[in-house]
Chains A and B, each alone.
Chain A
């Protein structure tokens, strides 16, 4: 229990991940499923960012007046990339959902089972 309390930031990411997973599994609406996927992504981003936290660390910007310790720049760079990729696939998924709606008139996945 103490180990979980020390890593409370990671625990928060795990809970966020599970919330997103629930949305993907239990919701019928495709937009809500996509939101669940985005929540999962946010959880992963928060997890990786938390691994880069340094106690009392400054932003990793060198130059006049900067003094260590600095926060870890590597997770920040990776997550910046990850956010852009998340935006890209969200845009693509939304446009596919729009096309599904135009074609079938519904975005409820259980209604979509029957359509041809």
Chain B
């Protein structure tokens, strides 16, 4: 019965959606409204104005920098909420001993993950370091490192992998993205008068690309630490 109602709702919902889709301008045209508003300026002047060859990086870190600043705050808040929901009730419990992974891992998986790990790290670092000039960036590189930490935790046990990121430095890495945004934002405030402003010309123009790179590194470190910490926190729970 519930399925029938659900299907009826879906059919009802699909009619206006399909009708709207049929009215939209065709995909792929350069006359599309999405392509004629601010984008021509980004593409024409983004390289000079924002200091990044990759226009996506220029958009997220410079033109829409406040947006991204808020976003790294969101993901940091999410980590804090996961801690609050999962960790706090457990602080009273005695510390659970964690050793090897609970499910035995096939030697093939173990070998493949361990062999590929260095190359995955290299790829992630390349992503971070060239994010302003090539596809990639801090979020992508950081998530790759986080995913790698999760994959190695699955085959080697979180205990061993967690040692890469000791408990004592985790609280400094998890808010790295937010902190780096604040540092660069406040530096911009002192040098140029406004929070998160980038030098376009004048004596500080050489700082523009370093600013972007600093934020990218902060986002990458913070992203990797947060993704891995979320996994480790959830893994420690029974279920």
C-beta contact mask, A71-102 vs B, less than 8 Å → 1, else 0? 01111111011011101110110111011011
Q: Tell whether B153 is near chain A: CB-to-CB under 8 Å.
A: no
Task: Let me know if A9 is at the binding interface, CB within 8 A.
Answer: yes
B contact residues around A14 at 8 Å (CB): 14, 17-18, 21
- Say yes or no: B234 contacts A7, CB within 8 Å: no
A30-52 CB mask vs B (1 if < 8 Å, else 0) is: 00000000000000000000111
A113 to B134, CA, bound (A): 52
Residues of B in contact, count (CB < 8 Å): 64
Structural contact, A26 and B60, CB atoms closer than 8 A: no
Known: A53-B27, A60-B54, A95-B86. A72 touches B35 (CB 8 A): yes
B43 touches A22 (CB 8 A): no
Interface flags, B4-36, vs A, CB<8A=1, else 0:
011101100110011001111011111010110
Q: Is B96 an interface residue (CB 8 A)?
A: no
A11 in contact (CB, < 8 A):
yes
A50 to chain B, nearest CB (A): 6
Does residue B47 face the partner (Cβ distance < 8 Å to A)? yes
Q: How far is the CB of A30 from chain B (nearest CB, A)?
A: 12
- If A14-B18, A70-B55 touch, does A80 touch B139 (CB 8 Å cutoff)? yes
Residue of B nearest to A103 (CB): B89
Distance A96 CA – B3 CA, assembled complex (angstroms): 26
Closest chain A CB from B44 CB (angstroms): 10
A115 contacts partner chain B, Cβ-Cβ < 8 Å: no
A75 touches B34 (CB 8 A): yes
Chain A min CB distance to B192 (Å): 23
Closest 8 CB pairs of A and B: A88-B78, A77-B59, A3-B22, A55-B28, A60-B55, A73-B55, A25-B6, A63-B53
B residues adjacent to A (C-beta < 8 A):
2-3, 5-7, 9-10, 13-14, 17-18, 21-24, 26-30, 32, 34-35, 38-39, 42-43, 46-47, 53-56, 58-60, 64, 67-68, 71-72, 74-75, 77-79, 81-82, 85-86, 89, 133-135, 137, 139, 223, 227, 230, 233-234, 237-239
What are 10 pairs between A and B in contact, CB < 8 Å? A7-B21, A18-B10, A18-B13, A73-B39, A73-B43, A75-B34, A77-B64, A81-B68, A88-B75, A95-B81
